[in-house]
Chains A and B, each alone.
Chain A
Amino acid sequence: MAGQEQHQPQSRDTEIDEDVPAAPPAPADAQASAATQGVDDLLDEIDGVLESNAEEFVRAFVQKGGQ
């Protein structure tokens, strides 16, 4: 955010600065492939974290009413 502090708030017609740091430019194919790889890695990690019996676990999550 530090880089943004000097800008006035933008309206919809002006260009928007991204908050995420700009990645170095890369060919579109390589970017897409890296993104796919990132998703695959993420899903692999989450596979190892998810509770084992999905159907049973979700069914047993029963709450009483709240506000």
Chain B
Amino acid sequence: MTAAVPGRQADAAGGLPVGGAMRVMGSETEYGIHAPSAPGANATMMSARVIQAYAQVTRQRAAGGAETRWDYTDEEPLHDARGWTLERASADPEQLTDQPPVLDAEAIALAYGRQELEADGGDEAGTLLMNMVLGNGARLYVDHAHPEYSSPEVTNPRAAVTWDAAGDLVALAAVRRLAADPELPPINLYKNNTDNKSVSYGSHENYLMPRSVPFGDIVRGLTPFFVTRQIICGAGRVGLGQDSARPGYQISQRADFFETEVGLETTIRRPIINTRDEPHATADKYRRLHVIIGDANLSQASNFLKFGTTAMVLSLIEAGLAPRIEIHEPVAALQAVSHDTSLTATLRLGDGRRVTALDLQWIYFEAASKHAQDTGVADAVDGDGHTHEVLERWSATLSELGGDRAAAATSVEWLAKLSLLEGYRQRDGLAWDNARLGLVDLQWADIRPEKGLYYRLLARDRMQRIVDDAAIGRAVTEPPSDTRAYFRGRCVSRFGADLAGASWDSVIFDVPGRGRLQRVPTREPLRGTEALTGPLFARHREAGPFLAELLGLSPGS
């Protein structure tokens, strides 16, 4: 027996104003993990400790547990957006993300010894908690060898920044908890994307799109944009090449790790356009565009533009209005742009023209601006409330990058980091291969405000804020009000003890006295909102009556 979450039927555009920066979106952050006092520690085990530590934090917040387990039923990592499914046998093991990465007692005892298991504390089934759904609607779990926070679904770039930054506070709470435990080595988490020793880990974005948009249009429309958007949202990196063999500084953390134009993989042969087709929603209506090329951003302004401008370019593509530009050899161009901090290098287009990355961004800006004004969403008063700000910041940032780099350094992350590094280079006469500059790069991304250099600049108002600290703090425990994440998060906070699991598109109840599990599908991302389900939560403090009314609302259930 199942019931759909009540709400109006969303149209193919998702029910949000079309043409601008609003759309269902979300972020994923894999944190770099390091225990300086235990350099040989197993990364997966350390990541599990992070999840475990946060579970302890949420249990303190709410008796009964404000988290629940992940439900893997609808994961489809081998579905390709181009229309086929990869044979399981030919997939790389790291692509099989639909299997719970459970460390069972036996495997842990074998690998690390019985004592380590006892120190970590398994649950009654002898397994470590590797995967949680949080009261803010997010997912916190062990992905490969990193802790990952996947934000709840939001509808606009400002909320994307808010709930992404909330993830950094979730990670911080876990780090604090571990630091307070005298039995365990302290663990540092870094919001970056490479160890500068040939390994990269991702920061992904997700955007909901109508399935009717041909995938080829997405590839053609997005590739030139993705090759160049790093100049506004790259996080900056000391070192050139995957293993930083060549000294220098580049715009993007990720660019050197991309090897192909289009593909299904995310851990090997990384593609500029990723084709993973797991909509986590009604599959014949939506696709979830999985973007793997971005850098993790601490700068709120860079993060805001990353989500806002990409959402607007997708609106252009959906309207058939994307600039008709083809970049010659996009992978090489991606790296050439990243390696050119002067922003003067030119890229060769398919028609033989040569343009700079800034030129290309202006071309996309002009097209996006015109479309948004034609559809009315860009109006400062009567628009959608978000697109206007994206356009303002996009044009201001491009102007600054072209003429006033000192001003841009208060918002553009790679420039902010570069100006700090240049300060060190000038004061101490350091060459780019000096370890101190590598440390500045690494410690830029330490999520602890007292250690993280981004946070030191923020404290001195050298970085712009898009969202105030109070809003980010609220987003640690509160879900967004205008997506299904509201229903998921509220169920977790209110009825955590009565949930058997949850995922992006389901919440599973295990209510005492009911014979079996009740799976509530949430396949429409814009249903389950506060407007639609808030009164239901207000009426019920107990899961049984809540579920009874919810199920009763659905005819035929």
> Do A and B belong to a common assembly?
yes
Listed in ascending order, the chain A residues whose CB lies under 8 Å from chain B are 1, 4-12, 16-20, 39-40, 42-43, 45-46, 49-51, 54-55, 57-67
- Determine how close the nearest CB of chain B comes to the CB of A63; give it in whole angstroms: 4
Assess the A63–B32 pair: CB atoms within 8 A. Answer: yes
- Determine how close the nearest CB of chain B comes to the CB of A17; give it in whole angstroms: 7
Q: Which of B145, B196, B202, B410 contacts A64 (CB 8 A)?
A: B145
Complex Cα spacing A20 to B356, Å: 27
Complex Cα spacing A58 to B39, Å: 12
- Determine how close the nearest CB of chain A comes to the CB of B456; give it in whole angstroms: 6
Chain B, 152-179, CB within 8 A of any chain A CB: none
Since A7-B392, A10-B391, A16-B400 are in contact, a sample of 20 more A-B pairs with Cβ atoms closer than 8 Å, ordered by chain A residue number, is: A7-B380, A8-B388, A10-B396, A11-B366, A11-B369, A11-B395, A12-B398, A12-B399, A16-B396, A18-B396, A42-B423, A46-B420, A46-B456, A49-B451, A50-B439, A57-B439, A58-B439, A63-B34, A65-B94, A65-B200
Which of B6-14, B53-61, B457-465, B527-535 is the contact stretch? Answer: B457-465
Assess the A46–B453 pair: CB atoms within 8 A. Answer: yes
- Does B195 count as interface, using CB distance less than 8 angstroms? yes
Assess the A66–B267 pair: CB atoms within 8 A. Answer: yes
Q: Which of B199, B200, B410 contacts A20 (CB 8 A)?
A: B410
Assess the A10–B439 pair: CB atoms within 8 A. Answer: no
- Does B299 count as interface, using CB distance less than 8 angstroms? no
Give chain A residues whose Cβ lies under 8 Å from the Cβ of B435. 54-55, 58-59
Q: Which of A1, A62, A66 contacts B197 (CB 8 A)?
A: A62
Give chain B residues whose Cβ lies under 8 Å from the Cβ of A57. 36, 439, 442
Q: Which of A7, A42, A62 contacts B195 (CB 8 A)?
A: A62
**A10, A54, A65, most chain B CB atoms within 10 A:** A65
- Does B144 count as interface, using CB distance less than 8 angstroms? yes
Give chain A residues whose Cβ lies under 8 Å from the Cβ of B414. none
- Does B362 count as interface, using CB distance less than 8 angstroms? yes
Assess the A66–B195 pair: CB atoms within 8 A. Answer: no
Give chain A residues whose Cβ lies under 8 Å from the Cβ of B424. 43
Q: Which residue of B lies closest to A45 (CB)?
A: B456
Q: Which residue of A lies closest to B204 (CB)?
A: A67
**A8, A18, A55, A63, most chain B CB atoms within 10 A:** A63
**A4, A6, A67, most chain B CB atoms within 10 A:** A67
- Does B393 count as interface, using CB distance less than 8 angstroms? yes
Assess the B451–A66 pair: CB atoms within 8 A. Answer: no
Contact A66-B395, Cβ < 8 Å, known A19-B464, A61-B195: no
Complex Cα spacing A40 to B420, Å: 10
Q: Which of A8, A20, A39, A67 contacts B423 (CB 8 A)?
A: A39
Assess the A49–B456 pair: CB atoms within 8 A. Answer: yes
Assess the B195–A63 pair: CB atoms within 8 A. Answer: yes
Q: Which residue of B lies closest to A60 (CB)?
A: B39
- Determine how close the nearest CB of chain A comes to the CB of B274; give it in whole angstroms: 9
- Does B440 count as interface, using CB distance less than 8 angstroms? yes
Complex Cα spacing A32 to B299, Å: 25
Contact A42-B464, Cβ < 8 Å, known A1-B389, A64-B199: no
Complex Cα spacing A17 to B411, Å: 14
- Does B123 count as interface, using CB distance less than 8 angstroms? no
Assess the B398–A58 pair: CB atoms within 8 A. Answer: no
Give chain A residues whose Cβ lies under 8 Å from the Cβ of B417. none
Give chain B residues whose Cβ lies under 8 Å from the Cβ of A7. 380, 392
Q: List 19 A-B contacts (CB under 8 A).
A: A8-B378, A9-B395, A12-B398, A12-B399, A40-B427, A42-B420, A42-B457, A45-B456, A54-B435, A54-B439, A57-B439, A58-B435, A58-B439, A60-B34, A61-B442, A63-B34, A66-B146, A67-B94, A67-B292
